[in-house]
Amino acid sequence: MTADFSLSGGVALVTGAGSGIGRAIALGLADAGALVGCVDQVPGNVDATAAELLAAGSRAVPVVADVTDPDAMSAAVGQIESKSNGGGSSTSTSPASSCRARPRDRQ
């Protein structure tokens, strides 16, 4: 697949990256040049997606997290940011710490 646009130097966080549409989105964003934070609840799936991206020469960070848990997602963003900055401080113009979590009803 060849992307029609460039995300070179960019960072993307994809939830559900371990399978299905999330996996396809992660592959597409990586193909466009982004470092992809692959987030999923299933460790084997998210590791497989990240390994596929890395084997293709892309940059990927596998993270196991529950998207309904604000603390887990904050930690996930921190892991991805640290990899994208080489371990340095965040350069994000909208850091995760400034985002407000909205309560959701769990069904």
| Total domains, the chain | 1
Tokens of 85: 């900055």
Compute the average pLDDT of residues 45-57: 97
Evaluate whether residue 104 is within a structural domain.
no
* Range(s) of the domain holding residue 64: 11-81
Q: How many CA atoms lie within 13 A of 4 on its CB side?
A: 0
CA–CA gap between residue 6 and residue 97 (Å, rounded): 27
* Mean of all residue pLDDT scores within the chain: 84
pLDDT on residue 3: 59
pLDDT value of position 103: 53
Contact 37, 12 (CB under 8 A): yes
Contact 30, 49 (CB under 8 A): no
CB proximity list for 101: less than 8 A, separation 6 or greater? 70, 73
Mean pLDDT of 11-16: 96
Query: Domain for residue 91, yes or no?
Result: no
**Residue 50 within a domain:** yes
